[in-house]
Amino acid sequence: MKRAMVALALLAGCGSSSSWSNVDPPPMMFPSALALWVAGDGDIWLGGATIWHGDGSGTWTERAPATPVPVSDFWGFSPNDIYAASDSRVLHWDGSAWTEVPPTTGVTFDALYRIWGTSGQNLWVANTDNSRIYHYDGTRWTVQTLQFVAADALWGASANDIWLSGTTDLYHYTGTTWTRYDGNDAPTGVQGLWGTAPNDVWAAGSFDELAHWNGSTWEIDEDADYGAGFNSIWGASGNDIYAVGDLGFAGHYNGDSWSVSQELGNTEFFYRVHGSGPGNVWATGANLQTQKTLVLRKD
């Protein structure tokens, strides 16, 4: 059974020791950019009170739809085919503008928070109110009510293999129905999900947890006691994975082991991590003391 061993290096905060470099953020208000999507080199999207597009050098352009709305998550398939979850709206970027993907008659969008899909004809959006999960087939929306309370993470290995975490439960979709995962090995407080295959999925949690799904069981790293939780996880490959979280902690998995270190100061929290490849990894966060947005790039 695969086990993620962790080498823990507690650094004394940010400064020259950090391997993440600050990039000038857009002029957005605290609490920072809660959504991040890296479509390629010089093609960075941030979502918060509005939508910003960056060229990778610290130059940002506001790219809001006609009616600006807050954005909590992105999911894309190419630089000209990106979707955004935005409270009561789903938006689509076609390379020139953001437009609304309207709900089907009888379906009401509410508190949309996490989005994932395999294409524009197979999108899933989970919300933070009353455990609703929405599905779009390219023509119409349908909605189900589960019991996850509020969505925290949503990711799938394929159209028939999707994981959804919430405040109280972890759900798995296998092509026909969503089923609550009741195994005693289930990770708790999962804030981020990412993987490479149905038998290679990682979960990052708010209770210091890094857990791996091998296709049949979740294996939680018993050494993952860092004093801070993880908020997001993303990888360029199965041997190059990043997890980021509270108190400036960031971890990297090289295929054999995790190394975790405090890359920022105690008042600086990582929120999201995403990239387009091994040399183009970005993160967002905030300094809770100064109430300033953080945008960082991995050196």
Amino acid identity of residue 53, one-letter, is H
Render pLDDT for 24-66 as a digit per residue (tens, 0 to 9).
Answer: 999 876 666 889 999 999 999 999 999 999 999 999 999 988 8
23-59 b/e with 16+ CB inside 10 Å = b?
bebbebeeebbbbbbbbeeebbbbbbbbbbbbeeeee
Render pLDDT for 209-250 as a digit per residue (tens, 0 to 9).
Answer: 899 999 999 998 765 556 679 999 999 999 999 999 999 999
Confidence of residue 3 (pLDDT cuts 50, 70, 90): very low
Domain boundary assignment for the chain: 5-298
| CA separation, residue 26 to residues 46, 105, 127 (Å) | 9, 37, 27
Per-residue model confidence (pLDDT) at position 17: 63
Task: For domain 5-298, give the fold.
Answer: Methylamine Dehydrogenase; Chain H (2.130.10)
* Statement: residue 251 has pLDDT above 60: yes
- pTM of structure: 0.92
Helix (H, G, I), strand (E, B) or coil at 248: helix
